[in-house]
Amino acid sequence: MPLRDSGKVRNATGSYPWRVDNDYSTIVVLTNIGNQPARFQVELRYPGGPYSIKQRELAVGEAASFDLRQIRDEQQPDRIGKILPANLDRGQFHWSLVVTPGEARIIGRAEVVSRSGRVASSYSCPVCCPDSGPAGHFDPNAYGLSVDGFVYTNAHGDYYDCYYNYYLGSVSFSQIFTYNTGIATVDGGGQLNGIAVGSTDVEGDYTYLEWYNDGMDCYQYYGYGSATAPVQVLRVTWTTPGGVGQNGGGVPMSNGTPPQGSPAFINTTTMTATGSPSGGTYSWSTSSNKVTLTNTSSATVTVTAQTESENTGDVSISLTYTLNGNSVTVPVPFTVQKPTFMDYVSTDNSGAESCPAGKSGPYKDITWQLADKNHNPIKFAIPTYDTLTNNTPNSCSVPAAGEGTPPGSSTGAGGRWGHHYSVCSSACNNGGSCSVTGSQKYFANGSEIDQSYTMSCASITVDGH
Amino acid sequence: MSINLRGDCWMVSRMLCLVLLVPGIVFSQNLSSKLSQKADFIPTTNSPKDALIEVAQHYKLPMGIEWIYAPNQARPTLLIEAQPTVRGMIDMILRHTPGYVFEIKNGVISISNYSIAENPRNFLNLRIGEYNASKVNVFGAESLLRIAIGRRLHPERYLGGTNGGYGYGVPRQDGLDVNSISFSGTNLTVRDVLNAIVRENGNSLWIVELRASKMMKDEPFFAQRAYGSDVQTQFTWQIIPLVIR
């Protein structure tokens, strides 16, 4: 326990040497011996420092203890996350009553002990007046965020001791608000929320104390201060053909080279960003090896497929829009789509086919949707052709090679493919019957998709439909 | 193999000509007025073939183009000293590509090269047997043509019947999927059928690029332009929409 009279208010601050080399230990105890709660803050000063402990309030009679070896060895972070170097073994412990108007009183004492050195020292070194401050500042001193996004504000206070040594400490805002809540709002925890595109300012209000002495005693000046920082709310949106899912993009994957008559395979797409307010710059990036990006510093980036996605949206592309030094970044989930399925959409028509003379049979029109392994539609015009191979012999007497679609066509822009199926056989004449089974192979962007079929004089079924 | 190759439809049976000519007269009148109008558009593409396609698309002209495949063909120099008619524009394009002739047949502008137009190794002169299209779209009409060619060349494969079908991208804005094509005939040439398809469809042209220096694999015909392959086994033509709505 400190063995010292509380004395004048000028004793409500102190600077002690501390050491923790060899078996030395240093423990500092601060005690509120006044009749009102009192705030204090601590700064450990050393080459490469300082280490600034967040402000704390002591209730009447409460004591706070600081074990310097424990702080160092446990690598306890200070108010900004800084830790003491593991090999630091000495420095100065500075503390001060701060931002507590009235007659608050805190006293402090440091105990330095070494059993091997037979040392037990006690320090109670008053300086002059307590430290003055804070002068609050937002840190950083400008904020950029997106509409519907959020960022956390941070702030620090500038303090100076009676020798005008300046240092950074904490600042507590009594209130924090934005000038235009239609642009951005801020909550009590300092979280800024983007509401609409535009600019405003965030303000935090605080109280401060300045001390001066007349050579005999310390006197305080109590005031109010405020810190402000500009807030820029940005919006960046993107569009791409062939979206996947609710909010994702997609690019088709190709395999091999196009066959005779086929349009060129498609394995690229573009994404176009629009930033608001305009006039900023764009940056695209990805850490995925499933795609490559080109023109990454322009509004429109080209995405080229490399390897197939395992899961929908497993390629993360990052889009950053920067205006006047403020940036917003949005993730773009992307999927590399290998044509894997022709998913059934609808049966559009069926009936009797117009067969050549001497033949008759049915037809059926089916619409299919080209899809990837997770059944996501591939919304691109993908070069597609198909072949039909009949099992032979068959009772319809049709040859092994059925009629297919030669290379030259593509799916619709949304990836849909209408197919007309028919069978014309002399076996179907006059109410006759026959049946043929086989497999239809689609080749979409070079990837093979197999479907089985059964055709008879009465019906046509492809892939169960 | 015996293949009956003769001239165009004017030389075939009266029945066939009636089938093809009646709608052709109407289309020809409309086509003549389009060709007589003053040109207000200059093609910008890099080859005479593409320039012709541009003109056809701009003025909505049903057209059939038999082109000799010639990579890196120079762009024609279009001398617009006086505002030409559309017909004059086409003439100017062809003036820089010797050997090509331009005529109107049954409502379709036909452009061909006299050096191979009548050649029996030009598959467009192949006479197919029966052709019967009833309310089909362009893709259905093309499928019927492929089957007709196959049945003509390899009848043994089609004795019992056929099955399969054809597909195409949907939905589409080029009108190629409209079931507006109905015509039939016998002893038609492939060229006749392609002309009828684009005329009936009303929003397309056809083009075949022939390589007279190369033959198809297993067929006695000049190869057509090979896209990505040097061995051609299937007959190839393109039907290109004039307007995409």
pLDDT digits (tens, 9 = 90+) for A212-266: 776 667 777 888 999 999 999 999 999 999 888 777 999 999 999 988 788 999 9
CB B197 within 8 A of CB B142: yes
A132-234 CATH fold: Immunoglobulin-like (2.60.40)
Contact B167 A420 (CB under 8 A): yes
Q: For A386-440, what is each residue's pLDDT tens digit?
A: 999 999 999 999 999 999 999 989 999 999 999 999 999 999 999 999 999 999 9
Whether B156 has its CB under 8 Å from any CB of chain A: the answer is no
Q: Given this model, what pLDDT does residue B81 score?
A: 56
Residue of A nearest to B239 (CA): A408
Angle at A57 between CA A51 and CA A58, to 5 degrees: 115
CA distance A82 to A86: 12
User: Phi and psi (nearest 5°) for A325?
Assistant: 85, -10
CA distance A200 to A308: 45
Q: Which residues contact B212 (CB under 8 A, 6 or more apart)?
A: B68, B115, B116, B119, B121, B222
Q: How many CB atoms lie within 10 A of CB B83?
A: 10
DSSP-based three-state secondary structure for B98? coil
Percentage of chain B modeled with pLDDT above 70: 80
Q: How far is CA B92 from the centre of its chain?
A: 21
Whether B154 has its CB under 8 Å from any CB of chain A: the answer is no
Among B32, B31, B35, B65, smallest CA distance to B50 is for: B65
Summarize the confidence of residues A101-111 as an average pLDDT: 85
Q: Given this model, what pLDDT does residue B47 score?
A: 80
Name the more confident of A283 and A15. Answer: A283
CA distance B88 to B76: 14
Of the spans A76-80, A334-338, B77-81, which averages the highest pLDDT?
A: A334-338
Q: Is residue B179 part of a domain?
A: yes
Q: For B124-161, what is each residue's pLDDT tens digit?
A: 999 998 899 999 999 999 999 999 999 999 999 888 89
What token pair was written down for A404? 């297919």
Least confident of A195-204, B8-17, B47-56: B8-17
Q: Given this model, what pLDDT does residue B76 score?
A: 56
Name the more confident of A361 and A6. Answer: A361
CA distance A433 to A361: 9
Q: Given this model, what pLDDT does residue A198 score?
A: 93
CB A18 within 8 A of CB A67: no
- Provide, as residue numbers in chain B, all residues whose Cβ is less than 8 Å from the Cβ of A359: 161-162
Q: Given this model, what pLDDT does residue B75 score?
A: 61
CB A317 within 8 A of CB A233: no
Q: For B11-21, what is each residue's pLDDT tens digit?
A: 333 344 344 44
**If you compute the radius of gyration of chain B from its CA atoms, what whole number of angstroms results?**
18
Domain borders along chain A are 9-123, 132-234, 240-337, 341-462
Q: Is residue B4 part of a domain?
A: no
Q: Is residue B2 part of a domain?
A: no
- For chain A, give the number of residues: 465
* Strand A268-276 to A300-305 pairing: antiparallel
Question: Shortest Cα distance from B147 to chain A (angstroms)?
Answer: 8
What token pair was written down for A6? 């509380």
Q: How many domains does chain B have?
A: 1
**Residue carrying the six token digits 């592309």:** A317
Percentage of chain A modeled with pLDDT above 90: 69
CB A284 within 8 A of CB A334: no
Instruction: Report CA-CA distances (Å) from A289 to A292, A309, A330, A360, B236.
Output: 7, 10, 19, 54, 39
**DSSP H stretches of helix in chain B:** 14-36, 48-59, 86-95, 138-153, 190-201
> Could you give the ipTM of this predicted complex?
0.83
Q: How confident is the model at residue A99 (pLDDT cuts 50, 70, 90)?
A: confident
- The reply to whether A132-234 and A240-337 are identical in fold is yes
CA dihedral B232→B234→B237→B238, nearest 10 degrees, is -100
CB A423 within 8 A of CB A436: yes
Q: Given this model, what pLDDT does residue B16 score?
A: 41
A9-123 CATH fold: Hypothetical Protein Tm1070; Chain: A (2.60.290)
CA distance A302 to A298: 10
Summarize the confidence of residues A53-69 as an average pLDDT: 92
Q: For A350-398, what is each residue's pLDDT tens digit?
A: 999 999 889 999 999 999 999 999 999 999 999 999 999 999 999 999 9
Q: Given this model, what pLDDT does residue B3 score?
A: 31
- For residue B208, list its beta bridge partners: B66
Q: Given this model, what pLDDT does residue B18 score?
A: 40
What token pair was written down for A421? 């199926």
Whether B98 has its CB under 8 Å from any CB of chain A: the answer is no
CA distance A278 to A315: 28
Contact B169 A417 (CB under 8 A): yes
Q: Is residue B1 part of a domain?
A: no
CA distance A288 to A275: 24
Q: Is the pLDDT of residue B85 over 80?
A: yes
Instruction: Give, in words, the CATH class of A341-462.
Output: mainly beta
CA distance A160 to A333: 50
Least confident of A107-111, A430-434, B60-64: A107-111
CB A327 within 8 A of CB A355: no
Q: For A138-197, what is each residue's pLDDT tens digit?
A: 999 999 999 999 999 999 999 988 878 888 888 989 999 999 999 999 999 999 999 999
Name the more confident of A236 and A13. Answer: A236
Q: How confident is the model at residue B92 (pLDDT cuts 50, 70, 90)?
A: confident
CA distance B28 to B36: 12
Q: For B183-234, what is each residue's pLDDT tens digit?
A: 999 999 999 999 999 999 999 999 999 988 888 888 899 988 755 555 666 7
Question: Shortest Cα distance from A374 to chain B (angstroms)?
Answer: 22
Ramachandran sector of residue B187 (left: φ over 0; alpha: ψ -120 to 50; beta: rest): left
What token pair was written down for A220? 């305080």
Among A347, A338, A379, smallest CA distance to A463 is for: A347
Q: What is the value of pTM for the model shown?
A: 0.73
DSSP-based three-state secondary structure for B32? helix
Contact B140 A405 (CB under 8 A): no
Q: Which residues contact B234 (CB under 8 A, 6 or more apart)?
A: A260, A261, A406
CA distance A430 to A378: 44
Give the CATH architecture of domain A240-337.
Sandwich (2.60)
Interface test with B, best of A360, A398, A425, A429 (most B CBs within 10 A): A398
Range of the domain at B100: 9-241
For B229, the closest of A259, A409, A411 (CB atoms) is A259
